[in-house]
Structure formats: C-alpha cells, structure tokens
Amino acid sequence: MSKSIEIQVLEKVKRSPRGTLFFVDSFAKIANAKSVNKALERLVKSGEIERVAQGIYVHPVIDDYIGKVLPGIEEIAVAIAKRDRATVVPTGSYAMYKLGLTTQVPLNIVFYSDTSARKINIGKQSITFKKASSKNLAFVGEISTLAIQALRTIGKDLATAEEIKQIKKILKNENPKHLQHDLQLAPVWIRKLIATNG
C-alpha cells in the first residue's frame, strides 16, 4: 500500500516542471499527511527529491555546469504565501535588496503577512512572516511597496541623496495610480520625500 503512495507521489512530482516546490498537503488527494510524509522521506533518501526545509520539497533543476540548483529563499517564501493564500509584503533589508539599494542578499528575509507569525529556517537562511495590520498589507504597487518599506528601514532623515535618487528613478516604472494609492498609506515624511522633484 505504502509503495503505491510513494509511486503516486513521485508521478505527481515528475509531471511538474523541475524546480516546483511541494508541500505535504500538495498530495492530499493521494493519501493522509502521515503516509505522504513517509513517502516523501523515502523519496529524499533515494535521491528523487530534495528537502529544502521542514515539510518543503523540490525536484531540483539540474544545470549542465553546476549540477543541482535549489530554489532561492524568495521562491520558497512566495510558494508558502501562495499555499496559505496569504498576502505578503517584503520588508527591511530584503526590500532594499529588491530595489538594488544593496547588493548583499539578506540571510533572513522578513515579510508582513495576514497569516500567523512564524519563522522558517532554510539552511543558514530564514524566512520570517510577521503578522501585520491590514493597513500595512493594503499596498497595491509592487515597486512603490518596496520603496516605502526600504525607506522605513533606512529611517527618517537617514536616506542618502544617492538612495533617494535611485528610489525615485525606479518609481518611474510604477503605475501612477498605484503609486498615489500607496503614498496615502505611507508616513508623511516618506510621502514628502517621494513627492518632491529632483
């Protein structure tokens, strides 16, 4: 019986493109969580799939030069949010990295979320979901959200002229309606900073 569950799980994995992330509940139609867990652990032992974090698995992409390519921390965070049907907003140094204000990939990325607060360890990195108010999750523009969160992290009166210039340049690619909407949610000092010309 368990063998057939393992085969069904592997067949589903192989039908999906390499690099697709799977959770135990991705196989809910095949068997109960306990049986699926056992099947996944056996598939990890046999090398068919990789375990990237507790309860998260992948059929890795194989690159001709570097071999196995595991999903990045951002891909994992997005997959978790999608599974949980959660709204997430990147914050802190991660928002700064996404905007190109820093080239250093943060080891710990933090998202505001409308789901329960939790931390997921992935190797030496971690993803933290912080429970946030609806106002902090009401942003609609992808670029303006990052800009506002990055400025919040840098702090009032602490952004350099170069950082402000970079943020304004990137914001030119944002939908003007989205930008206006998001600025209404931002602290006054950020609103003034972004709204000024130059």
pLDDT tens digits, residue range 33-73? 999 999 999 999 999 999 999 899 999 999 999 999 999 88
For residue range 97-143, list pLDDT tens digits in order: 999 999 888 889 999 999 889 999 998 899 999 999 988 899 999 99
**In the predicted structure, residue 2 carries a pLDDT above the cut 70:** no
Q: Assess whether 61 and 131 both reside in one domain.
A: no
Look up the domain containing 22 and give its range: 2-69
Q: Assess whether 53 and 121 both reside in one domain.
A: no
Q: Assess whether 112 and 180 both reside in one domain.
A: yes
State CA 191 to chain mean position distance: 26
DSSP 8-state secondary structure symbol assigned to residue 70: P
As given in the structure block, the two tokens for residue 149 are 């969160």
> Strand 88-90 relative to strand 108-113: parallel, antiparallel, unpaired?
antiparallel
In this prediction, residue 1 carries a pLDDT of: 45
pTM over 0.85? The answer is no
**In the predicted structure, residue 197 carries a pLDDT above the cut 80:** no
**In the predicted structure, residue 198 carries a pLDDT above the cut 70:** no
As given in the structure block, the two tokens for residue 52 are 């990237």
In this prediction, residue 3 carries a pLDDT of: 65
For residue range 11-28, list pLDDT tens digits in order: 999 999 999 999 999 999
Q: How far apart are CA 38 and CA 50, in angstroms?
A: 14
**Residue 73 or residue 181, greater confidence:** 181
Q: Domain total for the chain? A: 2
Tell whether 163 is covered by a domain. Answer: yes
Q: Assess whether 129 and 181 both reside in one domain.
A: yes
Q: Assess whether 63 and 94 both reside in one domain.
A: no
- Contact partners, residue 161, CB within 8 Å, separation at least 6: none
